């Protein structure tokens, strides 16, 4: 992740450069959509959430600190949009089976993981998806404005909670 | 579940064709208003910076004096640039070319209502950020009728958010009644050079947005009880000097 270049692009975009906005968006779009998809479990919702998040993020670039990594900041917005979208859907997640891994066991795992991820707090969701999207602990720490040790421990707790929720679901399914 | 399994769960999804184009289009469209705002902001930031620099310089002088350092010369705000916004250009806390006016001598201004749950500190910080960074009022806030003269903030209640007085959101001193300009708090670790850059940025209008650098933040003033209106609580008006004149 080229955070410094992201910062330059963000600075240019908020001055009205459509080209900079385009480049910054293209750089982050694939991962952002994956994050939205994994948070919602639905292709349609992922489209809706990622569009809403990109609109909010680029309209709100004035509030982005260009010294910090763009991706985790964007992820936090995606998390909020996903929660809004899911609450509008009354938590009935429309899962697109075709996009899930082929084996049956894998489908179950994917569903469980999406549910477990949705059960985390917004901050923990942001940390986990940023981690899975390839951001380092240092970048996550910068985006949260906390020391690296704090980010590390929050990530560990978030992953532990995710696994714990998965185990609980396993028990529920027995 | 191992880290590897978790990672492959995340990665193992194909992004639909056209998604990247779609999101890039959303982004391009979203930044279009910035083109119009940029022209407005350039004029606004320069003028606002001139007005704020005097207050900032006072704070920085105190801080820098300890180190024996000097600050750039203060601006000569003899004439404040003409602004596009009819509202912002009249705010007495923002433009004080002739010194701080008295709260009971300035024209009435609307109040600014924030969403429920917003604290006074959050409200004034947000106001500073958007006015200096965008030349606009916070988009989440709405203009409402003026508060009674002398009331700086009306605390929210029953689902209502805080309202702050656009005449004097940073309050006014007592008993003189002089409207306060925004102040700043500088953390001890902030290098003097950084403070100089902020001052220079405020003076020249070079600060790109209203967000201050790390370690420098907008000061949230402590308001006198008579400057705050609370739901269901009777307020005693502030008494101002000059023959016992009172802000009602």
Predicted local confidence at residue B25, as pLDDT? 92
Distance of CA B21 to the CA centre of its chain: 37
The ipTM estimated for the assembled molecules is 0.81
Predicted local confidence at residue B165, as pLDDT? 94
A54–B35: do the CB atoms touch at under 8 Å?
A: no
Average pLDDT, chain A: 80
* Span A48-103, pLDDT tens digits: 999 999 999 998 888 888 888 999 999 999 998 888 887 765 433 344 444 434 44
- pLDDT tens for chain B, 248 residues long, are 778 888 888 888 889 989 999 999 999 988 887 765 555 555 444 445 444 554 454 444 333 333 322 222 223 222 222 234 566 767 777 766 556 788 888 888 889 999 988 899 999 988 887 777 667 788 888 888 999 989 999 998 777 889 999 999 999 988 888 888 877 777 777 777 777 776 665 554 444 445 677 777 788 888 998 999 988 888 888 888 764 444 44
> Quick check: A111 contacting B, CB < 8 Å?
no
Residues sharing a CB contact under 8 Å with residue B131, sequence separation 6 or more, in sequence order:
B44, B48, B88, B94, B137, B210
DSSP conformational letter for A90: T
Within 8 A of A113 by CB-CB distance, chain B residues are 1, 6, 9
- pLDDT range class, residue A109, cuts 50, 70, 90: low
- Candidate from A21, A37, A162 with C-beta closest to B27: A21
Pairing of strands B163-165, B228-229: unpaired
- The residue behind tokens 């003028």 is B47
- Candidate from B9, B14, B27 with C-beta closest to A110: B9
A19 vs B62, which has greater pLDDT? A19
Q: How many angstroms separate the CA of residue B15 from the nearest CA in chain A?
A: 6
Within 8 A of A29 by CB-CB distance, chain B residues are 15, 19-20, 23-24
- What residue in B sits closest to A28 (Cα-Cα)? B20
Cβ atoms of A24 and A70 within 8 Å: the answer is yes
Q: Tell me what the mean pLDDT of segment A137-158 comes to.
A: 89
Predicted local confidence at residue A103, as pLDDT? 40
Predicted local confidence at residue A57, as pLDDT? 93
Q: Tell me what the mean pLDDT of segment A18-28 comes to.
A: 93
Predicted local confidence at residue B40, as pLDDT? 52
Cβ atoms of A80 and A122 within 8 Å: the answer is yes
3-state helix/strand/coil string of chain B: CCHHHHHHHHHCCCCCCCHHHHHHHHHHHHCHHHHHHHHHHHHHHHHHHHHHHHHHHHHHHHHHHHHCCCCCCCCCCCCCCCCCCCCHHHCCCCCCECECCEHHHCCCCCEEECCCCCCHHHHHHHHHHHHHHHCCCCCCCEEECCCCCCCCEECCCCCCCCEEECCCCCCECCCCCEECCCCEEECCCCCHHHHHHHHHHHHHCCCCCCCCCCCEEECCCCCCHHHEECCCCCCCCCECCCCCCECC
The Cα–Cα gap between B92 and B220 comes to: 18
Predicted local confidence at residue A73, as pLDDT? 92
Pairing of strands B163-165, B142-144: unpaired
Whole-number percent of chain A with pLDDT over 90: 27
A133–B10: do the CB atoms touch at under 8 Å?
A: yes
């Amino acid at each position: 992740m080229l955070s410094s270049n992201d910062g330059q692009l963000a600075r240019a975009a908020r001055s009205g450069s459509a080209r900079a906005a385009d480049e910054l968006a293209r750089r982050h779009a694939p991962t952002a959509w994956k994050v939205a998809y994994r948070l919602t479990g639905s292709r349609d919702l992922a489209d809706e959430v990622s569009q809403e998040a990109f609109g909010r993020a680029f309209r709100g670039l004035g509030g982005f600190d260009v010294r910090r990594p763009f991706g985790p900041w964007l992820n936090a917005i995606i998390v909020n949009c996903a929660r809004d979208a899911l609450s509008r859907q009354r938590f009935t997640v429309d899962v697109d089976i075709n996009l899930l891994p082929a084996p049956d066991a894998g489908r179950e795992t994917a569903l469980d993981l999406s549910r477990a991820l949705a059960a985390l707090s917004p901050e923990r969701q942001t940390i986990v998806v940023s981690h899975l999207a390839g951001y380092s602990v240092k970048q996550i720490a910068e985006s949260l404005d906390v020391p690296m040790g704090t980010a590390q421990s929050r990530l560990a707790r978030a992953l532990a909670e995710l696994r714990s929720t998965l185990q609980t679901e396993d028990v529920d399914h027995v | 579940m191992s880290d590897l399994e978790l990672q492959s769960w995340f990665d193992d999804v194909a992004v639909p064709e056209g998604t990247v184009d779609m999101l890039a289009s959303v982004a391009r469209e979203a930044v279009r208003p910035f083109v119009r705002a940029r022209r407005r902001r350039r004029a606004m930031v320069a003028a606002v910076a001139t007005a704020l620099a005097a207050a900032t310089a006072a704070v920085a002088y105190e801080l820098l004096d300890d180190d024996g350092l000097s600050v750039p010369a203060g601006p000569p705000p003899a004439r404040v640039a003409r602004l596009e916004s009819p509202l912002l250009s009249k705010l007495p806390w923002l433009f004080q070319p002739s010194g701080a006016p008295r709260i009971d001598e300035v024209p009435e201004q609307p109040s600014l209502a924030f969403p429920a749950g917003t604290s006074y500190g959050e409200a004034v910080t947000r106001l500073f950020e958007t006015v200096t960074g965008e030349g606009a009022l916070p988009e989440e806030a709405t203009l409402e009728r003026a508060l009674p003269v002398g009331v700086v903030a009306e605390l929210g209640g029953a689902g209502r958010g805080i309202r702050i007085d656009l005449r004097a959101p940073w309050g006014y001193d007592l008993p003189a009644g002089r409207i306060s300009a925004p102040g700043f708090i500088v953390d001890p670790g902030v290098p003097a050079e950084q403070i100089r850059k902020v001052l220079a940025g405020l003076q020249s209008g070079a600060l790109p947005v209203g967000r201050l650098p790390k370690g420098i933040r907008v000061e949230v003033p402590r308001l006198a009880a008579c400057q705050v209106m609370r739901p269901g609580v009777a307020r005693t008006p502030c008494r101002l000097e000059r023959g016992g004149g009172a802000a009602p």
